């Protein structure tokens, strides 16, 4: 059970589910047999040419320090689909302005379509010694996740805090051209596991059947950061991020989530779309992207964790939109989703404009398992899973500590279930 005792533990539900990938992906698009080059150490990437299929050897770890991997026009694959096998891992141990991870340890800036499948990507903030679960700090139910990078607000100026964030800043994949991500696990990045687009680049990217988790620092921390362009997110598992997915707000910025499961550990709203005013645009420009669609998704966090000096423990909406759609844009659509939140107003949050401005909603269910029906939400099996209480009557540090100790291996259990035969 996660620290938020009102949430649902997803471990059992994910077992044998297509959500999050792993061994449930029985037919990878590429395998070891298709590879032009098989890599077991960093230097061997030099043997690969453009358009090659590169296979990262099972159980091997390659490290990124000063140089980044350019996968534009290429295919990089691993064996995350194999039963009982640890996939090849790209281990990124550096961060900050002088590191390859500052702009992205893996990049596709220009060139042909790229594909990434079946690998694990560990960021510099990932702490493997904590990978068996989340800990509850003494006297307060605050964030202490395996991928959380704390920054103190006490006695520091805004400029000093920006400098501290810069020194730990890291991205996993940063792509400006079209591509696909399938069946990967990425964790431990302070900015984003995956980042797409720029002011002048509008890629079209699909991310499917992956686990993106433990990416958090005060001010940043995303599974997917969409600067511009479009993303389709399908059958992914997100957890322990500041936002699971965030959009910058450009008029060409939009994303669709279909069949995704958003886990019980939240820092802020899992689904987020900024407006341009707060991102350096013209004063008063409340344009917040062209679309944000959530279809058949499930959200398991109704409370957010306390972040010392930053955020207090409080209610956590599932979807937050900070403005209105771009003129003539399709707008926002939330359909056939399931929420642990009691009411629509607890789950859906639209700021700076009247709710619902350009936001369609239909077929959604609220209140947790006891109010959910089959055929809606993410395609996972909730049979045998304890429901969230219809009324949260628990309170106090001792209750929360007991809840945390009873099931402190939430994410570890998820990963173990997905590796099981």
CATH of domain 11-419: 2.160.20
Tell me how far apart the alpha carbons of residues 267 and 2 are, in angstroms, rounded to a whole number.
13
Residue 90's region, left for phi above 0, alpha for psi from -120 to 50, else beta, is: beta
Tell me how far apart the alpha carbons of residues 12 and 418 are, in angstroms, rounded to a whole number.
9
Tell me how far apart the alpha carbons of residues 180 and 194 are, in angstroms, rounded to a whole number.
11
Q: What is the pLDDT of residue 231?
A: 98
**Quick one: tokens of 54?**
């590169």
C-beta of residue 325 within 8 angstroms of C-beta of residue 350: no
Helices (H) and strands (E) in the chain, counts: 5, 31
Tell me how far apart the alpha carbons of residues 347 and 398 are, in angstroms, rounded to a whole number.
27
Tell me how far apart the alpha carbons of residues 245 and 243 are, in angstroms, rounded to a whole number.
5
Return the number of other C-beta atoms located less than 10 Å from residue 276's C-beta. 23
Residue with tokens 């992205």: 104
Residues sharing a CB contact under 8 Å with residue 364, sequence separation 6 or more, in sequence order: 334, 335, 336, 337, 338, 339, 344, 347, 376
Q: What is the pLDDT of residue 394?
A: 32
Domain boundaries, the chain: 11-419
Sheet holding 261-262, edge to edge: 61-64, 89-92, 120-122, 185-187, 211-215, 237-241, 261-262, 298-299, 338-339
Tell me how far apart the alpha carbons of residues 272 and 148 are, in angstroms, rounded to a whole number.
19
159 three-state secondary structure: helix
Q: What is the pLDDT of residue 396?
A: 30
Return the number of other C-beta atoms located less than 10 Å from residue 343's C-beta. 10
C-beta of residue 245 within 8 angstroms of C-beta of residue 231: yes
Tell me how far apart the alpha carbons of residues 228 and 248 are, in angstroms, rounded to a whole number.
7
Cis peptide before 356 (omega within 30 of 0): yes
Residue in 219, 264, 211 with CA at minimum distance from that of residue 242: 219
117 three-state secondary structure: strand
**Quick one: tokens of 387?**
């429901």
Tens-of-pLDDT digits for all 421 residues of the chain?
334 444 577 877 787 789 999 999 988 999 899 999 999 998 888 888 888 999 999 999 999 887 888 999 999 999 999 999 999 999 998 899 988 899 999 999 998 999 999 999 999 999 888 766 555 554 456 777 889 888 877 778 888 888 999 999 999 999 999 999 999 999 999 999 999 999 999 999 999 999 999 999 989 999 999 999 999 999 999 999 999 999 999 999 999 999 999 999 889 999 999 999 999 888 999 999 999 999 999 999 999 888 877 888 889 999 999 999 999 999 999 999 999 999 999 999 999 999 999 999 999 999 988 899 988 999 998 876 655 433 332 333 333 323 333 223 344 444 444 444 3
Terminal CA-to-CA distance of the chain, rounded, Å?
A: 23
Tell me how far apart the alpha carbons of residues 318 and 313 are, in angstroms, rounded to a whole number.
15
Residue in 233, 149, 145 with CA at minimum distance from that of residue 412: 145
Cis peptide before 148 (omega within 30 of 0): no
pTM greater than 0.85 (yes/no): yes
Taking the CA atoms of 273, 276, 280 and 283 in sequence, report the sign of the dihedral they define. Answer: negative
């Amino acid at each position: 059970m996660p620290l938020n005792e009102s949430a649902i533990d997803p471990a059992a539900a994910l077992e044998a589910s297509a959500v999050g990938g792993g061994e449930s992906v029985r037919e990878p698009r590429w395998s070891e047999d298709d590879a032009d080059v098989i890599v077991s150490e960093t230097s061997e990437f030099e043997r690969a040419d453009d358009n090659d299929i590169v296979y990262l050897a099972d159980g091997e770890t390659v490290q990124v320090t000063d140089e980044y991997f350019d996968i534009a026009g290429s295919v990089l694959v691993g064996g995350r689909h194999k039963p009982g096998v640890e996939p090849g891992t790209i281990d990124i141990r550096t961060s900050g302005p002088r590191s390859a991870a500052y702009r992205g340890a893996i990049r596709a800036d220009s060139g042909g379509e790229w594909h990434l499948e079946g690998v694990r990507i560990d960021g510099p903030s990932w702490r493997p010694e904590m990978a068996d679960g989340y800990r509850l700090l003494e006297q307060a139910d605050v964030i202490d996740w395996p991928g959380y990078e704390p920054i103190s607000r006490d006695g520091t100026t805004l400029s000093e805090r920006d400098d501290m964030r810069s020194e730990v800043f890291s991205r996993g994949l940063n792509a400006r051209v079209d591509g696909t991500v399938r069946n990967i696990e990425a964790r431990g990045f302070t900015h984003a596991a995956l980042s797409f687009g720029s002011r002048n680049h509008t890629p079209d990217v699909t991310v499917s059947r992956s686990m993106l988790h433990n990416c958090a620092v005060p001010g940043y921390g995303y599974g997917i950061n969409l600067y511009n362009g479009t993303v389709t997110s399908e059958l992914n598992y997100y957890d322990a991020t500041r936002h699971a997915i965030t959009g910058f707000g450009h008029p060409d910025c939009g994303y669709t989530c279909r069949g995704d499961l958003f886990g019980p550990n939240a820092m802020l709203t899992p689904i987020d779309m900024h407006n341009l005013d707060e991102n350096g645009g013209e004063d008063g420009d409340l344009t917040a992207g062209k679309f944000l669609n959530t279809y058949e998704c499930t959200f398991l966090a109704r409370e957010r964790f306390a972040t010392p000096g930053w955020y207090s423990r409080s209610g956590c909406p599932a979807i937050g939109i900070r403005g209105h759609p771009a003129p003539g844009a399709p707008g926002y659509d939330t359909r056939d989703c399931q929420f642990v939140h009691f009411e629509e107003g607890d789950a859906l949050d639209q700021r700076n404009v009247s709710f619902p401005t350009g936001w369609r909603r239909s077929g959604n269910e609220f209140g947790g398992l006891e109010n959910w029906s089959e055929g809606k939400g993410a395609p996972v099996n909730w049979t045998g899973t304890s429901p969230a209480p219809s009324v949260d009557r628990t309170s106090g540090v001792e209750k929360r500590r007991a809840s945390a100790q009873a099931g402190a291996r939430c994410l570890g259990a998820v990963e173990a279930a997905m590796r099981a035969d």
